[in-house]
A and B are shown apart, each in its own frame.
Chain A
């Protein structure tokens, strides 16, 4: 775990923005991959339900 407590507030705030940015990119790409794999079978299941 990265120790950020000792860093200046400005750096911590900038890190926060960068972390949220990276999280958003990871979630977007990750769920995009899941969607490509799972969407056709989910739609098929609903159609046949």
Chain B
């Protein structure tokens, strides 16, 4: 029996995996898309299908996140619109890179290695931040409105200069460079790219942090839409996978987001970092499985990826339940249903 073109077991797996990814996205504000492409690669989907479907999933989650933040998020729509051309060209370049590698039979390998490095790097940053936070919990950093490097970049007058919503000026070259650079990463890896775009908007374009978060989200929406359309042109997006993942993630994101009202993020950050390091090892195992033609490593790789995600989801639920029992805080965010 098949539903949405998937066996019932596979459908249940994607809904469950989407749920976990959604919990991470709702709780940490990231961690969604960069687990989906590796999971699809490990399951044996060709790189273009894995990346294209992940991009469509990114679009769906970005739509949901934008609806959640529409009344509280500060978004510089003008900057988002100015980045659009760069994003679109970057995604097209990323896609061409994937197809170029696919033509020589190296797409899965190269994308896999890129993910091993990416997940390891982000995981290491999370673990390091968690350890540092424990070490100097009281030494809270006060974020500058605009960092020094952004002020310096803004001081260079490279025409055409455009005026942003906050009245400051930025070179169209910087804006297009940020949009294009993140677009290439998005199109090549099938990710929203928020983990690069948000810092890039803050440090390179010089948008205040609060607006950088919202503007980056708007950028993810555009990246997802362009990516889904671009890969959709080649008919490689599996709508069944996207629907199953979205069905799970939309629910998980609500629960993850509601959990932030009860749990101190720093309590579980280290688990998330470790999970990303294990995900990196899982992708490496998957590559090794292909290289050595050992299917058992493929199975181990999949168990490691899904198992570590399930473990961190369980940790968030455990901390959440503990906090609910011991706290008299009201679930203000979730009760409104507009988080």
Contact = CB atoms under 8 A, between A and B. Distances in A.
23 contacts: A9-B233, A9-B235, A10-B233, A12-B232, A13-B233, A16-B228, A16-B229, A17-B228, A20-B239, A23-B242, A24-B59, A24-B61, A24-B63, A25-B63, A27-B250, A27-B251, A28-B64, A28-B67, A31-B250, A31-B251, A33-B337, A39-B331, A40-B335
By DSSP majority rule, is chain A's interface helix, strand, loop, or mixed?
A: helix
Given A17-B225, A23-B243, A43-B324, A35 B250 contact: no
A21 B67 contact: no
A6 interface: no
B228 A43 contact: no
Contact of A27 (B228, B246, B334): B246
Contacts of A21: 59-60, 63
A39 B225 contact: no
B337 A27 contact: no
A42 to B, nearest CB: 9
Interface residues of A, number: 26
Given A20-B228, A25-B67, A47-B324, 16 more contacts: A9-B233, A9-B235, A13-B228, A13-B232, A13-B233, A14-B229, A16-B237, A17-B232, A21-B63, A24-B67, A27-B246, A27-B247, A28-B64, A35-B254, A35-B334, A49-B321
Interface of A: 9-10, 12-14, 16-17, 19-21, 23-25, 27-28, 31-33, 35-36, 39-40, 43, 46-47, 49
Nearest to A26: B250
Interface of B: 56, 59-61, 63-64, 67-68, 225, 228-230, 232-235, 237, 239, 242-243, 246-247, 250-251, 254, 258, 321, 324-325, 331, 334-335, 337-338
Nearest to B252: A31
B325 A24 contact: no
A13 B115 CA distance: 27
Given A17-B232, A46-B325, A35 B337 contact: yes
A27 B121 CA distance: 33
Residue in B232, B321, B334 whose Cβ sees the most chain A Cβ within 10 Å: B232
Given A14-B229, A20-B242, A39 B59 contact: no
